[in-house]
Chain A
């Protein structure tokens, strides 16, 4: 049984984009704040901080998760993936390149979260149709694009355009 005292910092270890990381967190520290303030991983954006906007979405053990609705200490031993892990030495991945091509972003604030949700969808439901893609995008607030370019980009990557 793991017990962590309130108001004190405790060691947390997990893998971030395949690399082992370690830090110290109070039990109440949100994963979103831990990523940005303790690990310097600023790719994950913080919007509403109560699970509505989708900007802070990361993947935990492969599943898209709101990092503002999880505590850093819950990540012990888990695999966390963020937008920083998507591109490789060769350049942007297919989803990122398609968003660029189809003008699927303007200010870019919502983009990291959208990429993490669409990544899970692409891996687990590669046959997803436009309705399913739009259903997943409904969990992400974008005030620039009107979603058109984002949907077009996703349709191309899912082989539906």
Chain B
């Protein structure tokens, strides 16, 4: 068998799940689309898996004062096909098309992707772009304080993410999302998400250990005529690593090109 042996626990409530995690060297199993491959490769050997998918009431997309509250067990496919998501956060809808493939989106969850925290995954970057508040069994964490490094978050060992709260975007906000990957559905070499309204927000994924905002580049943007200069500033603001898939120079180049395309699209969409 590919995976190492583990104990399996399927709690029926969040209270049971939190109690099961306390003091244990356990991993939470939600959609499993990142965790199970890591176990198949034996990159991890947790003694206990706590399968939270039998806990009711964590799979929903609801209005939140013009924004949305999304249950942590909501599947990617549900996000991708939700008319409410498409209407309120079209940038999230567009980005979902880049998340792996149908069978992965059917199974993977928004909470799982956010808590796994892969530096090249779309959802952590989108959460940062949309200023998400992450509600857990203990507290609510602003996304800007959530990521501490590659695959590392502020979550405690017996803390479970339960809800993703996305505040409403101002009316007329323009948006753009541009990704480059070697093959459809692969992790991004680099992707850039932007929103343009009274101010611009620019988030880059795949260029740093965590998704990152580019405040220096953002501050330069006031008009369409600034786009080329902002894209160059974005390129100079990131410090990516070289790896097997792309050199640091190539990733910086991608940041410039993708920022230019995303801002141009956002400017055209802004009212």
* A interface residues with partner B (beta carbon < 8 Å): 1-7, 26-30, 33, 49-51, 54, 57, 63-66, 68-71, 73-74, 117, 120-121, 135-136, 138-140
Contact = CB atoms under 8 A, between A and B. Distances in A.
B64 interface: no
A27 B9 CA distance: 9
A107 to B, nearest CB: 21
A7 B47 CA distance: 11
B3 A28 contact: yes
Interface residues on B, range: 35 or more
Given A1-B12, A2-B9, A65 B101 contact: no
A1 B10 contact: yes
B33 A69 contact: yes
16 contacts: A1-B20, A2-B8, A3-B8, A26-B5, A27-B8, A30-B3, A57-B103, A63-B77, A65-B103, A69-B32, A69-B37, A69-B107, A70-B36, A138-B101, A138-B185, A140-B101
B256 to A, nearest CB: 27
Given A2-B10, A65-B106, A69-B107, A28 B41 contact: no
B5 A50 contact: no
B233 to A, nearest CB: 33
B57 to A, nearest CB: 16
Interface in B183-204: 183-185
Interface string B33-49: 10011011100000101
B33 A51 contact: yes
B32 A70 contact: yes
A131 to B, nearest CB: 10
Contacts of B153: none
Given A50-B41, A63-B77, A73 B103 contact: no
Interface in B43-75: 47, 49, 51, 53-54
Contacts of A74: 51, 53
